[in-house]
Amino acid sequence: MKMDQSHTIGAAKDLEPELMLELINQAQSAYRHAYVPYSHYPVGAAVLFSSGKIYSGCNVENASYGLTICAERNAIFNAVTQGERQLMGIAIAVPTEEYPSPCGACRQVVREFAVDCPVILINGSGKTRVTNLKKLLPDSFGPEFL
């Protein structure tokens, strides 16, 4: 794991190094299963929930583009089907040299299950950038507002 320290901020310090490495490994593994015949842009995600379990997901495209699901939401929804509710961290991996960035819909779904959490971004060289949800989605709207 090559950590880009210039982009590491507080939230990741709450995750044990072993958990961070496992999230990264599972996210990298997940993109290998992506179904991306249209964009050819595989993405993998792994999410850690308060139970200590990690769930993974990949993007799955559809000829009717609006039915495509992103890796992040796929992983989170997988966890929710197992009764999980409190997201503790997420890793997102791609095989390209650019770092991934979660789309707005994925940021909002992460927010549904965490007010803030580490977000680990992994490029194809295995380099990582760590940020957090509050930085990616400032002044967010969550379930506590309803």
Bridge partners (DSSP) listed for residue 56 = 46
Angle at Cα 32 formed by Cα 12 and Cα 4, nearest 5°?
A: 30
Distance CA 127, CA 132 (A): 17
Please tell me the chain's helix, strand, coil percentages from 3-state DSSP, rounded to the nearest 5.
Answer: 35, 25, 40
> Of these residues, 72, 84, 97, 112, which one is catalytic?
72
How far, in Å, CA of 36 to CA of 132, rounded? 27
Q: How far is CA 10 from CA 2, 81, 119, 131, in A?
A: 18, 30, 11, 8
Does 72 qualify as catalytic in the annotation?
A: yes
Instruction: Please answer whether residues 58 and 33 qualify as being in contact, where contact means their C-beta atoms are separated by less than 8 angstroms.
Output: yes
Residues annotated catalytic, as ranges: 72
